Structure 1
Amino acid sequence: MTGVYVASSDAESDKRTIALGMTELLAGTVDSIGVFRPIVAEQGRDPLLETLRRRFGLGDPYEDCVGVTYQRVHTDPEEAMSEIVAAYGALSARHSAVVVVGTDYTDAVTATEFAFNARVAANLGTPVLLVVSGADRGTAGVRSEIAVVHAELAREHATRLATVVDRVHPDGTSGLRERLEGIAYVLPDVPGLSSPTVRDLQRACDARLLFGDAERLARETSGVDIASMSLPALLDRMTADRLVLLTADRAGSLLPALLAAHTSPDFPSLAGVVLTGDTEMPEPVWRLLTGMDVRLPVLTTPLDTYTAATRLAPVRGGLAPLSDKKIESALATFGTAVDGPELLNRLRVTRTGAVTPLMFEYTLLDRARADRRRVVLAEGTEERVLRAADLLLRRDVVDLTLLGSPREVRARADDLGLDLGAVDVIDPDSSELRDRFAEEYASLRAHKGVTVDLARDTVREVSYFGTLMVHCGLADGMVSGAVHTTAQTVRPSFEILRSGLVSSVFFMCLADRVLVYGDCAVVPDPSAEQLAEIAASSADTAARFGVQPRVAMLSYSTGASGTGADVDKVRAATDQVRQARPDLELEGPIQYDAAIDPGVAHTKLPDSTVAGRATVFVVPDLNTGNTLYKGVQRSAGAVAIGPVLQGLRKPVNDLSRGATVRDIVNTVAITAVQARKDERDT
């Protein structure tokens, strides 16, 4: 078991970026990971621990991830240390690696809190990843602080893994990095990491939500403005992501105008409005607002404006689990500034042969980032797509093109508080590419009687427009389907990009492994020849994404025990794959339980290298496949990524209309990796 203790030297450093980055680094390398906080506050759940558990889908109960409270340390430090060691031991026994995150300097546990953290690390036997703040410190100050805490670690007999200097102004990172080479990694201050959300500010002034989406309370704010001027002056001074304080008795004259300006692309998008004082809103204004589709959070507080502003001014982020935007910004910063392989080498971590869902996702994003591609997202005004685009840009994974009206896309992004400045936005209705695409599509489909005039209307549809961008080399792949049906998404690719039999796979991410199911979405009733082609394609797709292919050709019968047309088809397909691809580990016909359960496999096929350990499951028909993957998805809590299409010259992938933001991120990354492979094959 590998453990690492993330400890900061003072309250000015911010361990959140380091804790997130170290957890992702280990999650992408080992098959099971835990997180642990030795000391937490008495009340509520620890925000950083909850951030780590949610982001990495960790299944340990919260109570198993904590040691003791600050009060317990004050009362009996020695007994508290014993309890911390015991709790850590119980958690670490279940995992290959554990990330331990030290105290936050919110309630000092001893005269020197860092010394206590060093003592805990020594007792746990975990090396310390030291975090030192570079905020408002010159090189001499940083060197002095590092020397002091290194000596402190030595006095407590704790081992230092590495040192990270964080919160450095971006303009000074390169110079400081050169002066500290061999001593420490240098991280720039993560933009917005300490910015409070609307919810942070809501709690600080005891406000409640009157109107708007509760989800928008997670939006980051750039500061607080007091609406004490006239409407023209207020509109002229509006800036993005601000929380506006407005006395309730002025709401009738100013609030409707603020809401209108917020939704207009000609004005910056606000984070929220707080009405101060106990004055009731005039009834006509209340009636007007309740009839509007108000999405901007409008809150009310009993505090007067001065008191509310005084309470809000010092608030920093961190009162709640981090938002996805902040998490991805932190991970991107860590990944760029810290040499992950070097850290793993110092920890002597060996990559496991298994592929867990976290490892799959980590490797996927890393491979996409290593060779950037451009992916077009056809549904450019859909909220989930916009949020996914924001996260992809923060992680620097791909270049993106969104389809839709630029004005509408930008306004929607501003309303959601998203930074999509690096995204290209193209409107198929007005783009100069429309005529070019119409001529190209008419040429491709002339045998079907398609003329340029007919094609000009067809290519206005976003799925056709996006597919033609891929065909013409203006994008490397396309993702759609969050709003459109599968038929609307894939029909253009069948017409324009087909290179052979088009089939699909789902990546089924279970708690401890990733499996590949094909074909569960495209070919209704494949022949033996088609089934053999699907098996070979699915095996290649699995290997491309780091899943060692051991192919099970599923049927209601195992081995030679069954007869009938359906099992004969699977048997014939298996023989064809063996002849065409002798390099593949293959078994069939085989029942699902014999393919996945080692105990059943030992009874039914004791000499098989695939039975009981299959990773690629090829179903005999679409009815079986769709039922199988949805059954596993629901009953086992698996995450299904796909369908990922095979048999196209360039990648186009479909989303479920219930796709989450994370599903979209993963599908875009898969598309980018497919594009790399497809380019090498051409």
Structure 2
Amino acid sequence: MKVQSLYISALHKNVGSLFITMGIMEILKTKIDKVAFFRPIIFDKNIKDKDIEFISQKYKLDMSYEECYGFDLGEVESIIASKGLDELITQLFEKFKKLQERYEFILCEGIARSLFTSNSNQNINALLAQNFGSSIISIFSAKERSSQEIYEDISIEKQNLLSLDIPCFSMFVSRVDEKNFPELENKLKEYSPNISFLKELPELDVLTLEDITETLEAKKIVFSQNDNVRAVRGFVVASLGVDDFLQEIKEDALVIVDAKRSDIILALIASFYSKEYPKISAVLFVGDSELSQSLKKIILGLHEYKIPFLSIEDDAFESVKKLLNVYPRLRVNSERKIALALGLFSASIDMAAFEQKIKVQKSDVMTPIMFQYKLFEMARKKKKNIVLPESSDERILRAAEIVLRRDVADITLLGKADEIREHSLKLGLDISKATIIEHEKSELLEEFSHSFYEMRKHKGITLEASRDTMIHSTYFATMMVHLGYADGMVSGALHSSADTIRPSLQIIKTTSDVELVSSIFFMCLKTKVLIYGDCALNQNPNAKELSQIAISSADTARLFDIVPKVAMLSYSTGESGSGVDVDKVREATMIVKSLRSDLEVDGPLQYDAAVDKSVASIKLPNSKVAGEASVFIFPDLNTGNNTYKAVQRSSGALAIGPILQGLKKPINDLSRGCTVDDVLNTILITAIQANI
């Protein structure tokens, strides 16, 4: 997929993140109409974020200020402390995805890593970029740092991004001293052309009068709108006599003077109009003294070139202290700085290549959070009705409430209405939007009994026995799906797998192209989602059955937008091994290829050759699957079940399943040890399967 978001990440403060953000926004806004700007974390929500204000105003973004950020630092620390880092990432991910629904591209700007109080939190920008599916732009400062230090920072960052499977879109080294540029460029040549250098431009760090008036909250005596962008390159305190003072004034200086010093004020006015003296930026009156009426008359009566006059109530000493804490800002009306910054950006990168990269750069990362969000979105597109026969279970009710509140599916609960409502109220849940059917007394019971009798009478079942069978909640729910009263069923929290699967085999049956019901697990690793089959149902499938498991698993992969590259697993790779077990896998691979020429499938493959490109290049160099497999078919239940559990426990992977496949309509089985999240994910998957 094309890049739909970029994430700008800086190691330290004051590295020029906003200049780079602006440069990239210039490119985006010329090519894409609907662009969003998002800062997942800001410093303090009680203080307007300057970068958000600037980008929003300059590019006239169709976004409210609140949409442009997630949390402030205080909230971030609180969420991590109370609920953990995953909860923070999940909440920010949801905010990000809401923007993605409305915009074609999202440009993210992270907060400087150095602002986090804990070293363990300093990787948040990378983790957010990973979960957003964003390519990352890393910024490093060369200010007062050696080329070796910069080299080490970049090397560490590169390894960090590789470990997280985050595409590095570009790297910038900013604030490069021109005299150190050749040495730095030579030191970092191994990273070329993915690195750009932004030379230090002192002008970008120069204060403006607007910076000063805003920070000091100064009163404007003589001041025009254009005076806001005046540069202030230094401060001069007028404490000397006129002759000595005039020797001290410099170009673009802010002169700090007591309003009583009429001699200095008149001298300043005279020097301003003289060709022989530097032109000061402004005059700042300090203290609580008032200008004399005669001086006011002179100042207000000046024509053409006017000196800006400001005043504050602090004395000279306090004023200087405050001025030392004024920092330059890039503002929408800072035309000079903007022009300088954009010029620097354009001169430092290959603009055409940069634009082209935005079009073609891909991110194949799929984190567990991303996959779970994907399930919600896919289910929401076409809401289905999922029946849950185990309404007495707390986990079922909690998952049902989430589904209903997020409005991704309709829910039907089986059981006594009064008991279900009472139970949910005790739990503090609202399941009022669910449909409740008392299946033992339902009007549907007679219809279902007759339907089941017609299906099974050749097996010797009586109508009375059919009625007794239909009173069982899983049979009733399965018949609801079969006859179209529901689109799918999820059960197994209280019942055995046999209780869930047997009714589906008797009533719904398999699809026309397979004779076998099988299962898969979605294995959500840190940066990708793999499919493992069959790890739950078929104990020792023969070659034909194994081929059907492979075909069903590939079709499931496609349903969830996973490109199926099917690895038929065994203890040997290619033609290197022999024996009954490996021959079975080899035969199954041939059957799949003969039945489904549209699938990329290879086998037998060892697991390492299926997932590791370096191993694959040695063991099976011409394979289109080896090293890139996304669907893994295990030769038997013992191998599959142990492997999925080993991967789940050792890597921390999220295992979603088992998900049944091969049935005409979706029925899914839960483990009796399932969590609320397990139930929720299974409901979503069942709803998506119902869209076929």
**Paired residue for 1:633?**
648
**Paired residue for 2:79?**
47
Once the two structures are superposed, the pairs formed by residues 385-424 of structure 1 within 5 Å of their partners are 385-424=396-435
In the TM superposition, residue 93 of structure 1 has moved relative to its aligned partner by 5.0
In the TM superposition, residue 97 of structure 1 has moved relative to its aligned partner by 6.0
Instruction: Describe the shift of the 1:412–1:561 C-alpha distance in structure 2 as closer, same or farther (beyond 3 A).
Output: same
Q: Using the alignment, how far apart are the partners of 1:11 and 1:349 within structure 2?
A: 39
Render the CA deviation track for 1:295-316: whole Å, top value 9, x for unaligned: xxxxxxxxxxxxxxxxxxxxxx
Q: CA RMSD in A?
A: 3.4
**Paired residue for 1:654?**
669
Q: Using the alignment, how far apart are the partners of 1:536 and 1:82 within structure 2?
A: 47
Q: Using the alignment, how far apart are the partners of 2:131 and 2:88 within structure 1?
A: 13
Q: Using the alignment, how far apart are the partners of 1:351 and 1:57 within structure 2?
A: 22
Q: Using the alignment, how far apart are the partners of 1:535 and 1:350 within structure 2?
A: 31
Residues 38 and 84 in structure 1, CA contact (< 8 A), matched pair in contact too: no
2:421 is the counterpart of 1:433: no
**Paired residue for 1:498?**
509
Counterpart AA for 2:115 = I
2:473 is the counterpart of 1:470: no
Instruction: Describe the shift of the 1:351–1:465 C-alpha distance in structure 2 as closer, same or farther (beyond 3 A).
Output: farther
Counterpart AA for 1:450 = I
2:607 is the counterpart of 1:576: no
Q: Using the alignment, how far apart are the partners of 1:563 and 1:439 within structure 2?
A: 53
Counterpart AA for 1:388 = A
Secondary structure of residue in 2 paired with 1:628: helix
Residues 79 and 85 in structure 2, CA contact (< 8 A), matched pair in contact too: no
Secondary structure of residue in 1 paired with 2:428: coil
Render the CA deviation track for 1:592-642: whole Å, top value 9, x for unaligned: 121112232222112222112211001112222222212222222222111
Q: Using the alignment, how far apart are the partners of 2:443 and 2:466 within structure 1?
A: 15
2:501 is the counterpart of 1:481: no
Counterpart AA for 1:377 = L
Q: Using the alignment, how far apart are the partners of 1:548 and 1:82 within structure 2?
A: 36
**Paired residue for 2:526?**
511
**Paired residue for 1:537?**
552
1:382 counterpart (384, 393, 406): 393
**Paired residue for 1:198?**
none
Counterpart AA for 1:636 = S
Instruction: Describe the shift of the 1:550–1:98 C-alpha distance in structure 2 as closer, same or farther (beyond 3 A).
Output: closer
Q: Using the alignment, how far apart are the partners of 1:82 and 1:430 within structure 2?
A: 62
**Paired residue for 1:96?**
129
Q: Using the alignment, how far apart are the partners of 2:471 and 2:413 within structure 1?
A: 14
Instruction: Describe the shift of the 1:84–1:9 C-alpha distance in structure 2 as closer, same or farther (beyond 3 A).
Output: closer
2:4 is the counterpart of 1:2: no
2:637 is the counterpart of 1:605: no
| 5+ long unaligned stretches in structure 1 | 14-34, 61-79, 100-124, 126-154, 158-346, 678-682
Q: TM-score, normalised by structure 2?
A: 0.53
Q: Using the alignment, how far apart are the partners of 1:45 and 1:562 within structure 2?
A: 55
2:690 is the counterpart of 1:675: yes
Secondary structure of residue in 1 paired with 2:671: coil
Render the CA deviation track for 1:89-113: whole Å, top value 9, x for unaligned: 76435653699xxxxxxxxxxxxxx
* Seq. identity, %: 47
2:676 is the counterpart of 1:665: no
**Paired residue for 2:224?**
none
Q: Using the alignment, how far apart are the partners of 1:400 and 1:39 within structure 2?
A: 39
Secondary structure of residue in 2 paired with 1:563: coil
Instruction: Describe the shift of the 1:474–1:93 C-alpha distance in structure 2 as closer, same or farther (beyond 3 A).
Output: closer
Instruction: Describe the shift of the 1:90–1:388 C-alpha distance in structure 2 as closer, same or farther (beyond 3 A).
Output: closer
Render the CA deviation track for 1:440-460: whole Å, top value 9, x for unaligned: 111111111111100111111
Secondary structure of residue in 2 paired with 1:46: helix
**Paired residue for 1:551?**
566
In the TM superposition, residue 583 of structure 1 has moved relative to its aligned partner by 1.7
In the TM superposition, residue 356 of structure 1 has moved relative to its aligned partner by 2.5
In the TM superposition, residue 59 of structure 1 has moved relative to its aligned partner by 14
Secondary structure of residue in 2 paired with 1:501: coil
- Larger Cα-atom Rg: 2
Secondary structure of residue in 1 paired with 2:602: strand
**Paired residue for 1:84?**
115
Counterpart AA for 1:522 = L
Secondary structure of residue in 1 paired with 2:626: coil
Instruction: Describe the shift of the 1:463–1:602 C-alpha distance in structure 2 as closer, same or farther (beyond 3 A).
Output: same
Q: Using the alignment, how far apart are the partners of 1:444 and 1:390 within structure 2?
A: 35
Residues 360 and 546 in structure 1, CA contact (< 8 A), matched pair in contact too: no
Q: Using the alignment, how far apart are the partners of 2:472 and 2:496 within structure 1?
A: 13
Q: Using the alignment, how far apart are the partners of 1:81 and 1:57 within structure 2?
A: 17
Q: Using the alignment, how far apart are the partners of 1:566 and 1:544 within structure 2?
A: 30
**Paired residue for 2:182?**
none
Counterpart AA for 2:462 = T
| 5+ long unaligned stretches in structure 2 | 1-5, 9-37, 49-68, 93-110, 133-173, 175-209, 213-357
Q: Using the alignment, how far apart are the partners of 2:112 and 2:570 within structure 1?
A: 56
Q: Using the alignment, how far apart are the partners of 2:211 and 2:436 within structure 1?
A: 56
In the TM superposition, residue 509 of structure 1 has moved relative to its aligned partner by 1.1
Residues 481 and 657 in structure 1, CA contact (< 8 A), matched pair in contact too: yes
Counterpart AA for 1:92 = N
Q: Using the alignment, how far apart are the partners of 2:522 and 2:674 within structure 1?
A: 14
Q: TM-score, normalised by structure 1?
A: 0.53
Residues 467 and 493 in structure 1, CA contact (< 8 A), matched pair in contact too: yes
